[in-house]
């Protein structure tokens, strides 16, 4: 499964609201520009912490799913290097 498909599945399964979709779009934009998110704690920093923090936007289960997807992307990017 591709990471794009993972994000699509997350959206389909969790039916995020507009703020959550905006956060996911920021993650995608960041991935396109930078290749990966190096540390999970980066999700708590700029550009991801505005207007609402990751931990406030998503339940713990949703946070884990997003982190798992981001980790998979990072691992794939590391292998591709």
Could you read off the pLDDT of 23-58 as tens digits, one per residue?
Answer: 999 999 998 898 888 888 899 998 888 888 999 999
A 10 A CB-CB count for 67 gives: 15
| Percent of the chain whose predicted confidence (pLDDT) is above 90 | 53
Which tops the pLDDT comparison, 31 or 79? 31
Is 24 in contact with 11 (CB distance < 8 Å)?
yes
pLDDT for residue 67 is more than 90: yes
Q: What's the whole-model pTM score? A: 0.85
- Give the percent of the chain with pLDDT over 70: 93
């Amino acid at each position: 499964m591709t990471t794009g498909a993972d994000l699509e599945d997350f959206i389909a399964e969790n039916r995020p609201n507009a703020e959550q979709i905006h956060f996911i779009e920021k993650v995608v934009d960041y991935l396109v520009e930078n290749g990966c998110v190096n540390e999970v704690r980066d999700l708590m920093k700029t550009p991801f912490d505005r207007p609402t923090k990751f931990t406030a936007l998503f339940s713990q289960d949703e946070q884990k799913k997003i982190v798992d997807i981001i980790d998979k992307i990072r691992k794939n990017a590391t292998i591709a290097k």
